[in-house]
Amino acid sequence: MKRWTDVEPLEFVRRMREGGLSADQVIDVREQPEWDYYHLEQTTLMPMNTIPGRIDELPRDKPLYIICAHGVRSEAVCRYLHERGFGGLQNVLGGMAAVASHAGFEYD
């Protein structure tokens, strides 16, 4: 059973623009070269394979928005974090590719 919420890209962008999300809440799980290509300013880079070693850096007292390129890795990270007791997990559907058109940039 899924224990996180999928958030639509438009809603995610709206929340970011309204200033309701801090960088420690938006976790980008892509790799460094993907981040270098394009990233949202209000995010923290934490590549998927580094999550186990950096899990203590993640806040447990507020919702976490997990984003990747297309939504596959972010869903896997949501599953992993849920299994370790995290709540309030938000998977950004379609990842950066889906967010792009709503945030005013192109992403391959």
Sheet with 26-28, edge to edge strand ranges: 5-7, 89-92, 64-67, 26-28, 44-45
Q: What is each CA distance from 76 to 16, 26, 71, 72, 93, in whole angstroms?
A: 23, 15, 9, 7, 12
Catalytic residue positions, numbered: 68
